[in-house]
Amino acid sequence: MQSVFRIILQRLALGLLTLFVVSIVIFTAVNMLPGDFAQAILGQGATPDAVEAIRRDLGLDQPPITRYFQWLGSAVQGDLGNSFAQANFASFVGADSGVRTTVAQQIAPRFANTMFLAAVTACIAVPVSLVLGILAALFRNSVFDRATNVTTLTSISSPEFFLAYVLILFLAVLNPVLPSLSNIFEGMSFGERLEKTLLPALTLTLVVTAHMMRMTRAAIINLLASPYIEMARLKGMSPMRVIVKHALPNALAPIINVVALNLAYLITGVVVVEVVFVYPGIGQLFVDSVKIRDIPVVQACCLIFAAAYILLNLTADIMSILSNPRLRHPK
Amino acid sequence: MSALVEIRDLWIEGRSDEIWSPIINGASLSLKKGEVLGLIGESGAGKSTLGLAAMGFTRDGVRISKGSVMFDGIDLITASAAKKRELLGKRIAYVAQSAAASFNPAHKLIEQHTEGPVQHGVMSRSDSVEDGIELYRRLRLPNPEEIGFRYPHQVSGGQLQRAMTAMAMSCRPDLIIFDEPTTALDVTTQIEVLASIRDIVEQFDTAAIYITHDLAVVAQMADRIKVLLKGDEVEEADTRTMLSHPKEDYTKSLWAVRAFERPQKPAVHTNATPVVSVQNVSAAYGKIPVLHDVSFDIHEGRTVAVVGESGSGKSTTARCITGLLPPSAGVIEFDGKALPANYKSRNKDQLRQAQMIYQMADTALNPRTTIGDIIGRPVQFYMGLTGKQKRRRVEELLEEIEMPAAQYIDRLPSELSGGQKQRIGIARALAAEPKFIICDEVTSALDQLVAEGILKLLARLQDDLKLSYMFITHDLATVKAIADEVVVMKEGKVVEQGPKQEMFVPPHHPYTDLLLSSVPEMDPDWLTNLLNERGVDNIGDAAVDKMS
């Protein structure tokens, strides 16, 4: 058990290091974006003086290295800075209200929405993929297996917006069972939220199922030639039991990794679906912020995405390790 | 009394590249209740296929094309899958060759033990756990109360094999198929497992089919023996008749293999410089010490056999000599000069002089390169030959190992048999024109007849080329056949060494004695006599433990 503990600590340290490297990459990349916020906000007719004033006010005149460490230093303390876009530039015309929205305030509700959507999707997609994968492995090369493969592959190959519109057509327009707009706001009950979220969640389920289902199927089938599977068969165990009890526990590691990868995708890569359903998630905020060069928000979003990826992969690593009895119970 | 198992005129085919080719050609056998039938033959003879067919089971890509398999009046070929599942595990059980691979790594032993009885509705889980502990006790497993609650990787190979026998017994079947259950074990462990299996099969009056390629083993276990050759039945008789009066030439040739033995060479001149001298070598993997103060010499044209069980440090010694594992203390001398400890600091000539032949020819040859390239590579690297010269040298080497160049030079390893692959391994070692070759268990993956061919080839090459061999093996028959001197290792130490003649004559070191006495002999009473002589507690691992 001690060795497992050490491995977990090592992975955690490695995760933090990765996050640090990613923060450098993010900062550099964002700074390489053409144009700058002051120019963007003031438009074509801006006087150089005004541009310079805003730049100074936001600290954009500092050298990049100084800015990076200022940003990192406060980010570590939980302060992601102030949003440029929400800042009140009225001060430049002499009427500063003194109120500035922090990035955290802006991101928090959006991120919560995104997590909600991801959670709902995961609750549908993960069990469905596992069950389909197990059944496909059980009835491999049957009509069922092929049909499942073709269906999931078709859905993963289709563009997300197309799937979204198809679902809207069938579930909102032709049979109005679900709302086609997912405009969520604060103060909604859980039930209402769930109802509004269901259509985007179903769309995303179609997108992520194929990968997880096929990995489950492949990981199980990979083991079916093992001597211990033959042994289970020779003990007269039913095919279902052979797969669920004997193959699945040994196939968990690759499955867990693919599930983690897809969950990370659900948090970071769902902009298109958010746009189609007008879902107020972090993806839309991210795209909007890039558009107006709201650098603190862009950087914060990137950092959150990176952290989500690293954290989920870390969890997957640790769970794969724990799924191996050799590591759980050393000699 | 009617037969428990009746196989009549059974034909089995296997598929490779969409072509069905025969594996078993019209085999018949019948087995009475409580009887043990030995199935012997070389690998590829179809023993396992026939054994599994007796359970009504075929592996993927194998099919029964004709014939009948009756088990206690039930036709296993026409029976539905559900009907067969009812029998498997409950009335017919299976013990596989590698228990380490055949136990599911994800579950505890007792979970796997109780699965059969519980799923077949024979016993409740708690009864089955109790019964399992009782079986573990009868099979003389250490700590029978606790051992079942471990995972397979926490239990040694010999113990796993007995736990698997216990698992096969869990539903008290009428028939057990033992598929080479001791092939992967050391001799001292094997003897214990053999004794346990024989006892328990007798106690419960279970019928068994015992599959093996080891004649001496089958002689201890079986009432009757059936010999198979490439899917054809050669002959069948009761054990004593078969051993004393084999009828067919093939059977006789199997019996004769053990007769190969080189004459002992005269003692080496005391002043002669050994080719390889291992002096006070100690080594460790990380912090775990594995070799302690190992010393021995290998002289020109001589074979030193290094014997011992798995884990005794034989292969580690070889790794030290080749420089793959720099020793923590001691030196390796070659022709009287110390070699750099790490192979990276040795020059090309020093590397060339010591070559290796590996146990698994399958994995030691690159499957995607032709024979010509495999042998040509060291020819070019060490001897600097290219183009036509290189090809001529490769052809010479192929002639040397008795494989016609024209026929084999462009083949891939997958197109060769196990013995031929091992010959390629030898040719590759010879290509460097070394003085010294380490042979690491080179015959243990091969059938006896093929192994004998390899040993004879190595002996001839030694005479022709004045080669020195370090021969790592756990098989004492091989030692008898080829060694000049023997080094016995145990737990990383040399416990005894000397000329072969002396080694096989008492008095021995107690460990050497145990090793020698554990090698099964052809005499069907050998195991019984040995057990009577020593008692069950003085064989196998128990005896080894007492010594240390």
Task: Chain A: give the shortest CA distance to residue B104, in Å.
Answer: 5
Beta sheet of B5-16, edge-to-edge order: B19-31, B5-16, B62-71, B74-75
Average pLDDT (A112-132) is 94
pLDDT band of A218, cuts 50, 70, 90: very high
What are the phi and psi torsion angles at B37 (to 5°)? Answer: -105, 130
Residue A96 has pLDDT above 50, yes or no: no
Distance separating alpha carbons of residues B392 and A278, to the nearest angstrom: 76
Nearest to B42 by CA among B209, B251, B285: B251
Nearest to B304 by CA among B433, B431, B436: B436
Residue B544 has pLDDT above 80, yes or no: no
Partners of residue B11 on adjacent β-strands: B25, B66
Across the interface, whether the CB atoms of B107 and A249 are under 8 A apart is answered: yes
Residue A85 has pLDDT above 70, yes or no: no
The chain-wide mean pLDDT, for chain B, equals: 88
Express each pLDDT in A250-262 by its tens digit. Answer: 999 999 999 999 9
pLDDT at B126: 94
> Mind listing the domains of chain A with CATH numbers?
1-101+294-331 (no CATH), 109-291 (1.10.3720.10)
Alpha helices in B361-447 (DSSP H): 361-364, 371-383, 387-400, 405-408, 418-431
Distance separating alpha carbons of residues A61 and A71, to the nearest angstrom: 14
Question: Do the Cβ atoms of B24 and B50 come closer than 8 Å?
Answer: yes
Question: Do the Cβ atoms of A321 and A7 come closer than 8 Å?
Answer: yes
Across the interface, whether the CB atoms of B90 and A228 are under 8 A apart is answered: no
SS3 A61: coil
Handedness of CA B434, B440, B441, B446 (dihedral sign): negative
SS3 B285: strand
Residue A91 has pLDDT above 60, yes or no: no
Residue B115 has pLDDT above 90, yes or no: yes
pLDDT at B534: 78
CA-CA distances (angstroms) from residue B115 to A323, B102, B127, B143, B160?
21, 14, 12, 21, 17
CA-CA distances (angstroms) from residue B377 to B360, B395, B396, B417?
20, 13, 15, 22
Distance separating alpha carbons of residues B223 and B544, to the nearest angstrom: 30
Express each pLDDT in A51-60 by its tens digit. Answer: 888 778 777 7
Residues of B in contact with A325 (CB under 8 A): 105-106, 151, 153
Which of A140, A231, A328 should we substitute to test contact with B (largest number of B Cβ atoms within 10 Å)?
A231
DSSP output for B57-89: ---TTEEEEEEEEEETTEETTTS-HHHHHHHBT
B543 alpha-carbon distance from chain centroid: 22
Residues of A in contact with B116 (CB under 8 A): 235-236
Long-range residue pairs from B235-243, CB within 8 A, at least 24 positions apart, any chain: B236/B29, B239/B38, B239/B524, B240/B524, B243/B219, B243/B522, B243/B524
Q: In chain A, which residue's Cα lies nearest the Cα of B167? A: A235
Strand B303-307 relative to strand B485-490, pairing? parallel
Residue A88 has pLDDT above 80, yes or no: no
The percentage of residues in chain B with a pLDDT greater than 90, rounded to a whole number, is: 44
Find the CB nearest B120 among A228, A236, A246.
Answer: A236
CA-CA distances (angstroms) from residue B230 to B25, B335, B374, B447?
9, 47, 30, 13
The chain-wide mean pLDDT, for chain A, equals: 86
Residues of A in contact with B107 (CB under 8 A): 249
The mean-pLDDT minimum among B47-56, B211-220, B255-264 falls in: B255-264
pLDDT at B184: 74
Task: Chain B: give the shortest CA distance to residue A129, in Å.
Answer: 22
- Classify residue A44 by burial, with Cβ atoms within 10 Å: 0-12, 13-18, 19+: exposed
The mean-pLDDT minimum among A75-84, A230-239, B158-167, B353-362 falls in: A75-84
Query: What are the residue ranges spanned by the domains of chain B?
Result: 5-255, 288-513
Express each pLDDT in B456-467 by its tens digit. Answer: 899 999 999 999
Q: Which CATH number fits domain B5-255: 3.30.310.80, 3.40.190.10, 3.90.226.10, 3.40.50.300?
A: 3.40.50.300
pLDDT at A94: 44
Task: Chain B: give the shortest CA distance to residue A230, in Å.
Answer: 8
pLDDT at B507: 75
Task: Chain B: give the shortest CA distance to residue A236, in Å.
Answer: 4
Question: Do the Cβ atoms of A46 and A39 come closer than 8 Å?
Answer: yes
Q: In chain B, which residue's Cα lies nearest the Cα of A323? A: B106
Strand (E) or helix (H) holding A319:
helix A295-322
Average pLDDT (B209-237) is 89
The percentage of residues in chain B with a pLDDT greater than 70, rounded to a whole number, is: 97
Residue A217 has pLDDT above 90, yes or no: yes
pLDDT at B548: 60
Question: Do the Cβ atoms of B426 and B231 come closer than 8 Å?
Answer: no
Residues of A in contact with B94 (CB under 8 A): 231, 234-235
Does the model's ipTM exceed the 0.90 cut?
A: no
Task: Chain A: give the shortest CA distance to residue B37, in Å.
Answer: 20
Residue A106 has pLDDT above 90, yes or no: no
CA-CA distances (angstroms) from residue A204 to A162, A194, A306, A315, B521?
12, 15, 20, 22, 68
Residue with tokens 């359970």: B55
Across the interface, whether the CB atoms of B120 and A331 are under 8 A apart is answered: no
Residue with tokens 């194929």: A210
Structure token digits, residue B253? 């040739």
pLDDT at B282: 93
Across the interface, whether the CB atoms of A236 and B59 are under 8 A apart is answered: no
What are the phi and psi torsion angles at A26 (to 5°)? Answer: -60, -50
Average pLDDT (B27-55) is 88
Across the interface, whether the CB atoms of A236 and B87 are under 8 A apart is answered: yes
Cβ pairs bridging A and B (under 8 Å): 74
pLDDT at A92: 47
Partners of residue B488 on adjacent β-strands: B307, B496
Express each pLDDT in A150-189 by its tens digit. Answer: 999 999 899 989 999 999 999 988 988 888 888 888 778 8
Across the interface, whether the CB atoms of A235 and B88 are under 8 A apart is answered: yes
Across the interface, whether the CB atoms of B90 and A236 are under 8 A apart is answered: yes
Express each pLDDT in A17-38 by its tens digit. Answer: 999 999 999 888 888 877 677 7
- In this chain, the answer to whether the domains covering B5-255 and B288-513 adopt an identical fold is yes
Structure token digits, residue B129? 């756990």
Distance separating alpha carbons of residues B221 and B208, to the nearest angstrom: 10
Average pLDDT (A78-94) is 61
Residue A5 has pLDDT above 70, yes or no: yes
pLDDT band of A79, cuts 50, 70, 90: confident
Which of A138, A226, A229, A235 should we substitute to test contact with B (largest number of B Cβ atoms within 10 Å)?
A235
The mean-pLDDT minimum among A231-245, B182-196, B323-337 falls in: B182-196
Question: Do the Cβ atoms of B10 and B62 come closer than 8 Å?
Answer: no
Which of A220, A234, A321 should we substitute to test contact with B (largest number of B Cβ atoms within 10 Å)?
A234
pLDDT at A87: 55
pLDDT band of A328, cuts 50, 70, 90: confident
Find the CB nearest A234 among B55, B105, B106.
Answer: B55
Express each pLDDT in B129-148 by its tens digit. Answer: 999 999 999 888 888 999 99
Residue B334 has pLDDT above 70, yes or no: yes
pLDDT band of B1, cuts 50, 70, 90: low
Residues of B in contact with A231 (CB under 8 A): 94, 96, 102-104
Residue with tokens 């240390």: B548
pLDDT band of A86, cuts 50, 70, 90: low
Residue B391 has pLDDT above 90, yes or no: yes
Residue B210 has pLDDT above 90, yes or no: yes
Q: Which CATH class is domain B288-513?
A: alpha beta
Q: Which residues of B touch A (CB under 8 A)?
A: 52, 55, 57, 59-60, 84-90, 93-94, 96, 98, 101-107, 115-116, 119-120, 150-151, 153-154
